[in-house]
Structure 1
């Protein structure tokens, strides 16, 4: 395939729902990164309950996002793109804020996961290392070189085709799932680990606001099943593959965030997990199998690599989708010869390498990025309500019943409440403060500046705060939707004796 034969504004359609799930296997990383830190302010039962509630909410939100993914089968960017479509008729910069917030939430977790990856490798195999050097007043070491290597590894796997990266994620993902399954069972049955409910508590250091902030700071991982929607235009069957991947990864999350922490905290005790917030899985392997801490390190390192690969892919597509819609610099509206948004991926990695060098603790990075992510979720959910009102006749290969409309409104209010409490009270977790929230606000406001630059300077258009929104799809969008509708209504299992007005399996509400 030659360079000239590629449409530099269209993503390659090579993925299946299994590839989407493989990319979403980044999600266990949230468990590894946050559980130990949370046990400093809440008990294990409290944290697990928060995660369970959040995972159920995520499952329901993914049902909503699946409808919008099928509405725009050619559009990259996932949740942020739906926010752009829903809000541009009312206040277009909100779309830019949603997209940059989404990108910020996913992208900056690359540097966080990379640093933790480097720390794990150094602590396990290079304990005697003394390498240290300073850049702009920050002390760096061997772990940061490993972190940079992990970023470049993820960039290469994504730049030369997402299918290859998804294949690697499948292998690493199976390793992670197998490792978690083994240690979960071991914590429950091993004679050297005495699992007991007495090791788990409902303690809360503070009041209900502390629990709300715990939900806020972990929303980036418990809501993250929506990541598969970012790859919607790259699935061979956009509507079916997106819906299947979202449903399956959401159910996996519900099980993961209940069973694994219950087994580990109940076996090791809250104190051990709290004192080893990054490598408590390695401690569990060591106690269960004697001298097998390195196996736990490999499991965690593999999960972190999956996270870095997936978030690099997702962050790049968020920028690409933003540029496609004319809301940031046009140079990012481009794909390389492998059908991948290479410039966006490269910019993403360069930014994270800079953040890793210049910014302090990885958890502070997470706190700064979380505001943008939750804003994108709020604007994406509210876009569902606006699109139902403004585009009632738009073809929907997946259509939820009208009963979802008030339910989604409740979800929007709930997420606004959690975000407000989290932004105003980050110190309740024992780290962070106003500075991290101000950094996030500054980045989001800068997105409006880039939106204005694209329209006024690059596109030479007047600055508009409201943009026209078509009531029906046109051109290539209409053709793509017609294809999706035809695929949905021509499933081999439903061709015979099917009433054309009967919803397909994907259109039926399981609730």
Structure 2
């Protein structure tokens, strides 16, 4: 059986899968608007989308440099940093995987609670250490299994499901956006306010909290080796997804808050979209909840796809157990997808409310993002002659430095002051750092126990791709790369 990912996708499939981003907005709009006001929240989302667009322009170049590598932006961080401190590649890869993967548990838990509250409010539950479990957890596990099934049997199936669900979600968003403006008096700009708390650090923390949504358009890069035309399809999917998300981040909260008001969202942040849909149609609350549930399931399908490929990329790079370096008969990393689903099912059952885990995992995701931007700069410096089907102009170098500095500030303030957003405190921050430290342990296990090699603290990369590299001089200090070539 071929162990290569199948090149079966186009940029349209990547765009459909990446439409998970509006789902993240639906999950966070109530919390964000309730805390800092409508206009401030819209500003944060739009600024984040613009930063994400600039980042994606950089990632399009690195994706085209390594057309056979799975794992998305964490792989670009690995390639950039391996010459200086190779374990940072493991940190970036695990941080990226956790950031996407644990979103599955959050979406599943939200689906379970929404269904139970709407249709089975008196469902029984049983005591469990730390909380109670019942129908919400059972439904969450079923949703996780459904997201796994949509991905396990081929990327085309996941893309097809994503296209169908994306159409439904976009129709629901269109109703929420258009309806208030068709009924005079139902939308009022005075219902949106600015943040008057006086702490600029609070705004930075909220940028940190929402970055897993605003930056998420980079998911298109995770499927680079599966696009029929890697350079063209990856770049186009990244660009269009960023622009569409920018529009969604402005229009949807503008219409939602202007029609239902900030206090309504503050009182029911999880069901904010369902409330807006009900008001837009003058009823049909079941329809609004159903669309929200389908949207969250759509997000689970995309997160499962990305998380599984991140794990597969880790194993292929030699940074986690080699058993995950396998694709199934449908050309997808089946073992990685299965492990991803089992981990999230365990989180839902054992923790009940995985929101604190998600916030902790957000640290890893933004660390991976920051290392990937730095990786772009390091690759420009260390591999100037490496073939680049997409090469950004020199003006993008200072842009990359500015984004790097911006992300460092966001991560530093966010992880040290999470309580400013009301999501936790020192426990979540220590957990965030601990999760990434585990990645270094697993990296050492793979290298020392499974591969029988010493830990490679630094790996000198080739100056050119292996199939184009010039012969090395006898005294070359170039170390053997741990990355198997996927190129023919």
**Alpha-carbon contact 1:46-1:204 (below 8 Å) kept:** no
Distance 2:308 2:339 in 1: 8
Q: Which runs of 5+ in 1 are unaligned?
A: 1-5, 484-511
| Residue 99 of structure 2 corresponds to residue 105 of structure 1 | yes
In the alignment, which residue of structure 2 is the partner of 1:294? 286
- Match among 339, 342, 350 for residue 347 of structure 1: 339
In the alignment, which residue of structure 2 is the partner of 1:319? 311
Deviation of 1:329 (Å)? 1.0
In the alignment, which residue of structure 1 is the partner of 2:13? 19
Distance 1:468 1:450 in 2: 22
1:437-459 alpha-carbon deviations (Å, 9 max, x no partner)? 11121110011011111111111
In the alignment, which residue of structure 2 is the partner of 1:135? 128
Residues 371-410 of structure 1: matches in 2 within 5 Å? Answer: 371-410=363-402
Distance 2:72 2:469 in 1: 16
**Alpha-carbon contact 1:172-1:303 (below 8 Å) kept:** yes
Deviation of 1:206 (Å)? 4.3
138 and 102 in structure 1: CA distance in 2 versus 1, 3 angstrom threshold: same
Distance 1:477 1:240 in 2: 24
**Alpha-carbon contact 1:157-1:164 (below 8 Å) kept:** yes
| Residue 137 of structure 2 corresponds to residue 144 of structure 1 | yes
In the alignment, which residue of structure 1 is the partner of 2:212? 220
In the alignment, which residue of structure 2 is the partner of 1:508? none
**Alpha-carbon contact 2:305-2:337 (below 8 Å) kept:** yes
In the alignment, which residue of structure 2 is the partner of 1:488? none
In the alignment, which residue of structure 2 is the partner of 1:72? 66
SS at 1:41 equivalent: helix
In the alignment, which residue of structure 2 is the partner of 1:85? 79
1:74-131 alpha-carbon deviations (Å, 9 max, x no partner)? 000010000010000100010000000000100001000111011121222223x322
Residues 114-125 of structure 1: matches in 2 within 5 Å? Answer: 114-125=108-119
Deviation of 1:482 (Å)? 9.1
**Alpha-carbon contact 1:71-1:481 (below 8 Å) kept:** no
Distance 1:168 1:477 in 2: 41
The RMSD of aligned alpha carbons is 1.8
| Residue 269 of structure 2 corresponds to residue 277 of structure 1 | yes
**Alpha-carbon contact 2:116-2:123 (below 8 Å) kept:** no
SS at 1:89 equivalent: coil
**Alpha-carbon contact 1:138-1:357 (below 8 Å) kept:** no
Q: TM-score, normalised by structure 1?
A: 0.90
Distance 2:390 2:291 in 1: 37
Distance 1:132 1:295 in 2: 26
Distance 1:147 1:308 in 2: 11
Deviation of 1:481 (Å)? 10
Aligned length: 475
Deviation of 1:273 (Å)? 1.1
- Match among 129, 151, 158 for residue 151 of structure 2: 158
Q: TM-score, normalised by structure 2?
A: 0.94
285 and 41 in structure 1: CA distance in 2 versus 1, 3 angstrom threshold: closer
Q: Which runs of 5+ in 2 are unaligned?
A: 471-484
